[in-house]
Amino acid sequence: MATGRTHRPATRSRGIPEATVARLPLYLRALTALSERSVPTVSSEELATAAGVNSAKLRKDFSYLGSYGTRGVGYDVEYLVYQISRELGLTQDWPVVIVGIGNLGAALANYGGFASRGFRVAALIDADPAMAGKPVAGLPVRHTDELEEIVTENGVSIGVIATPAGAAQQVCDRLVAAGITSILNFAPTVLSVPDGVDVRKVDLSIELQILAFHEQRKAGDETAAVRRTGTAGRPAAAAREGRKGPDGDVPAVMPA
Amino acid sequence: MATGRTHRPATRSRGIPEATVARLPLYLRALTALSERSVPTVSSEELATAAGVNSAKLRKDFSYLGSYGTRGVGYDVEYLVYQISRELGLTQDWPVVIVGIGNLGAALANYGGFASRGFRVAALIDADPAMAGKPVAGLPVRHTDELEEIVTENGVSIGVIATPAGAAQQVCDRLVAAGITSILNFAPTVLSVPDGVDVRKVDLSIELQILAFHEQRKAGDETAAVRRTGTAGRPAAAAREGRKGPDGDVPAVMPA
DNA sequence: CCATCTTTGTGCACGCGTTCACAAAGACAT
DNA sequence: ATGTCTTTGTGAACGCGTGCACAAAGATGG
C-alpha cells in the first residue's frame, strides 16, 4: 500500500506530459466559448491569449495530440473541441459521488458545470442520519451505509470527498474498496491510497497561505520598488503573536 | 496591463523556490497536528511521511529557510511551526473579503480554518440587493456598491472571487483598483491583472477533467496490466457522443 | 504555376525542481 | 575523551517543462 501521492506518478501518460494534460481543460473552455460564438477557426496566438498561456506552449501542447492545425490558417474550433474532449475522456459520461454534504458538498452538488462537461452526480452521501432523504440539488441524500452499494450499482469510478478531515481517510478507504480509482479531495488531509488510485487535492487554506507569503513579501519590498498601483502594499493590520488556535481537525470547507 | 498569469512569476521570491513555498503550508499543517499531540521533535523522515512528500525534498525545502534542525535528533516542532508561520506571513492577521455569496461563497464564509490560520473574513459582498444585510456565517452581506469602501477602510489586500464567470473580471478590476494585490479566483475565467497582483485559481471542473483523463487511460489499459484491486478499472457507463451543453458562462460553483 | 505571406510544428537550449548519496554535525554511551 | 550511531544539510546529476527561433507547410493572389 503506497502512501498517497497527491499528484500523478511523474510518468507521462501515453506520451502526453502531465503539465499538458493539466492545461487541456483550459484550452477546452476557451474553445467552447469560441464555438458558442460560432467562430470557425483560431490561431495559436489568439487561443493562447484566451487561455492565458504562451502561444509556443500551446502549440507544443497540441503537438502531443497530433497535427490538428492548418499552417497559415490556424485550428478548426469544432474539430479541436472534439479532439480535446476525446483525449480527456469527456465524450463519455462519468458518474460521480459526493461524500460529505455540508456547505461545500452542497455547493458542489449545485455546480452547473457538471452535467455539461461530461460528469453526472450519481449520488450525494452523508454520515448524518438526519440528512438522509433530504433533497439537495434535486437528489435525495443517501446515508454512508449505502456507500458501497451506490458505487457498485452505478459503476462510479470518481469520488469527491468533502467531509471533515477526520472522516476523510476512512471514507477514502471505503470508496477505494468499493472500486473507485479517482478521488478529488477537499478535506485538509493527506490521503493514503493503493497504487493505481489517483488523488487530486483542493485546499483553500493552502492557497490562501501561498498568497499571504507573496503578500508579505510585497509589503516587505515597500522600501524598494514603488508599486505601479499607488494603493498597493498597504501596511495591513497590526501583527499579533499568539496565533494558532485549536483546529487540527477542521473540515475543509464545512459546517462550522 | 499584463495578461493574468495564473501562477507566480517564475522568479523565486527571496531565494525560496515557488515549489517550496507551495509545500510549506503542508508541513505547517502536519507540524500543527504534532504540536497538538505535544510531540516535541520529529525527524525529516516522519514529518515527510505525515506531509506526504519525500524526506530529501523536505530537508532541502527547510534548508532554504535556514538550519533549524539538530543532527542526530530532528526538528523541534514548536520552533519549526513558528519559523514556517513567520515565513508564510501568518504571524499577522490578513483581512479577506469574499465576493459572490452563492453556495460556494457561503461555504467559504463558514470555513472554520480561516481565523485560526491567520486569516479573518472582513466582509462578504454580493451584487444581489436582496442579499444585502442578510447574515451569512454571522456577517451581514454587503452590497457591491460598497466594495471599494470596504476594501479601503479595512486595509484588505486579499480578495476571494466566488462569483459567476461573467462577473469575475469586472469584480477583479474593482478589487485591484481598490488596492487589493492578491486574488483567489474560483470563477472559471482567466483573469487579467496588472503586474504586481497575484492570482491563484481554484477550478473544480478542471480537476475533475484531469481525473477523467487518467481514469480513461486506466480503462484503456484494461487489456494490459491487471489492476491490483480486483474491482478497479470498471467499464464505466456507456459512451455517448452529443455532449457539450451550453455552459460557456457557467459559474464556478454557484447557484444553478 | 509561382511568389508571397501567414501560421504551424519542433529542434534546441536553458533553468527549475527532484532525487540520490554522502560528508558533517551532534547526541549518547562507555 | 573517544567511538558509535543517528539524522541533518547539501553537492551533484538528472529529467521535465518552458520558450526561442526557425524551417516546413499550406493558403492566397497574381
Asked whether residue B62's C-beta has any atom of DNA/RNA strand D within 7 A, the reply is yes
Is the same domain home to A83 and A106?
Answer: no
Is the same domain home to A37 and A84?
Answer: yes
For the CA of A71 and the C1' of C1, the distance in angstroms is 21
Residue A126 belongs to some domain of the structure: yes
At residue B256, the pLDDT reads 29
- The C-alpha atoms of residue B62 and residue B66 are separated, in whole angstroms, by 6
A64–B contact, CB cutoff 8 A: no
C-alpha distances out from residue A220 to A185, A224, B13, B198, Å: 34, 8, 11, 15
Is the same domain home to B51 and B119?
Answer: no
Average pLDDT over every residue of A42-56 = 98
- The C-alpha atoms of residue A72 and residue A55 are separated, in whole angstroms, by 15
Residue B209 belongs to some domain of the structure: no
Q: Which of A191, A203, A240 is nearest to B24 (CA)?
A: A203
Is the same domain home to B82 and B120?
Answer: no
Contacts of B94 (CB under 8 A, 6+ apart): A208, A212, A215, A236, A237, B118, B119, B120, B157, B158
At residue A240, the pLDDT reads 33
A68 has pLDDT over 50: yes
Residue A68 belongs to some domain of the structure: yes
Cell 481543460: give the residue: A25
Average pLDDT over every residue of A205-209 = 95
At residue A15, the pLDDT reads 85
Host domain of residue A149: 94-201
Q: Of chain B residues 198-237, which have a CB less than 8 A from chain A?
A: 198, 200, 202-218, 227-229, 231-237
- The C-alpha atoms of residue A45 and residue A74 are separated, in whole angstroms, by 9
Average pLDDT over every residue of A164-180 = 98
pLDDT band at A228 (very low <50, low <70, confident <90, very high): very low
- The C-alpha atoms of residue A248 and residue A150 are separated, in whole angstroms, by 31
Q: Among B160, B185, B201, identify where a domain stops.
A: B201
At residue B157, the pLDDT reads 97
Return phi, psi of residue A95, to 5°. Answer: -70, 140
Asked whether residue A49's C-beta has any atom of DNA/RNA strand C within 7 A, the reply is no
- The C-alpha atoms of residue B81 and residue A221 are separated, in whole angstroms, by 24
Which residue gives the smallest C-alpha to C1' distance to D26?
Answer: A71
pLDDT band at A220 (very low <50, low <70, confident <90, very high): confident
C-alpha distances out from residue B203 to A200, A202, B190, B197, B254, Å: 12, 9, 11, 19, 12
The three cell numbers of residue B231 are: 474491482
Is the same domain home to A117 and A195?
Answer: yes
Is the same domain home to A64 and A123?
Answer: no
Neighbours of A219 (CB within 10 A): 17
Numbered residues of the known binding site of A for NAD(+): 100-105
pLDDT, tens digit only, all 256 positions of chain B: 333 333 333 344 568 999 999 999 999 999 999 999 999 999 999 999 999 999 999 999 999 999 999 999 999 999 999 999 999 999 999 999 999 999 999 999 998 777 767 899 999 999 999 999 999 999 999 999 999 999 999 999 999 999 999 999 999 999 999 999 999 999 999 999 999 999 999 999 999 999 999 999 998 765 444 433 333 333 333 333 333 333 333 343 443 2
Residue A1 belongs to some domain of the structure: no
- The C-alpha atoms of residue A6 and residue A31 are separated, in whole angstroms, by 29
DSSP, residue by residue, B52-75? TS-HHHHHHHHHHH---EETTTEE
User: Is B119 within 8 Å of A87 when comparing Cβ atoms?
Assistant: no
C-alpha distances out from residue B146 to A70, B99, B125, B182, Å: 50, 11, 8, 19
At residue B120, the pLDDT reads 95
- For residue B4, which residues of chain A lie inside 8 Å, CB to CB? 52
Is the same domain home to B99 and B175?
Answer: yes
Cell 468533502: give the residue: A162
Q: What CATH number is attached to the domain comprising B113?
A: 3.40.50.720
Is the same domain home to A44 and A111?
Answer: no
Asked whether residue B54's C-beta has any atom of DNA/RNA strand D within 7 A, the reply is no
- Residue A111: helix, strand or coil by DSSP? coil
Torsion over CA: B51, B54, B58, B61 (sign): negative
Average pLDDT over every residue of A12-41 = 93
Task: Extract long-range pairs of A134-137: CB within 8 Å, 24+ residues apart.
Answer: A136/A101, A136/A105, A136/A106, A136/A109, A136/A110, A137/A106, A137/A109, A137/A110, A137/B256
At residue B220, the pLDDT reads 76
Asked whether residue A54's C-beta has any atom of DNA/RNA strand D within 7 A, the reply is yes
Q: What CATH number is attached to the domain comprising A25?
A: 1.10.10.10
Is the same domain home to A77 and A148?
Answer: no
Domain count, chain B: 2
Residue B239 belongs to some domain of the structure: no
Cell 516542532: give the residue: B77
Is the same domain home to B73 and B148?
Answer: no
Is the same domain home to A58 and A135?
Answer: no
At residue B114, the pLDDT reads 74
Cβ-count burial B24-34 (b if 16+ within 10 Å, e if not):
bbbbbbbbbbb
At residue B139, the pLDDT reads 97
The three cell numbers of residue A182 are: 479517482
pLDDT tens figures, A79-135 = 999 999 999 999 999 999 999 999 999 999 998 777 667 899 999 999 999 999 999
Residue B117 belongs to some domain of the structure: yes
Return phi, psi of residue A112, to 5°. Answer: -70, -30
- For residue A213, which residues of chain B lie inside 8 Å, CB to CB? 13, 21, 24, 87-89
Residue B67 burial by Cβ neighbours in a 10 Å radius (0-12, 13-18, 19+): exposed
Q: Among B201, B221, B240, identify where a domain stops.
A: B201
- Sheet with A69-70, strands from edge to edge, namely A41-42, A74-76, A69-70
Average pLDDT over every residue of A21-50 = 98
At residue A14, the pLDDT reads 62
Average pLDDT over every residue of A58-69 = 96
A11 has pLDDT over 90: no
Return phi, psi of residue A246, to 5°. Answer: -80, 105
Is the same domain home to B150 and B79?
Answer: no
At residue B14, the pLDDT reads 62
Residue B194 belongs to some domain of the structure: yes
Residue B65 burial by Cβ neighbours in a 10 Å radius (0-12, 13-18, 19+): middle
Residue A26 burial by Cβ neighbours in a 10 Å radius (0-12, 13-18, 19+): buried
The three cell numbers of residue A18 are: 502531465
Residue A140 belongs to some domain of the structure: yes
pLDDT tens figures, A141-164 = 999 999 999 999 999 999 999 999
DSSP, residue by residue, B102-145? SHHHHHHHT-THHHHTTEEEEEEEES-TTTTT-EETTEEEEEGG
- The C-alpha atoms of residue B55 and residue B68 are separated, in whole angstroms, by 15
pLDDT band at A166 (very low <50, low <70, confident <90, very high): very high
Q: Among A184, A201, A218, identify where a domain stops.
A: A201
- For residue A77, which residues of chain B lie inside 8 Å, CB to CB? none
At residue A114, the pLDDT reads 74
Torsion over CA: B40, B42, B48, B50 (sign): negative
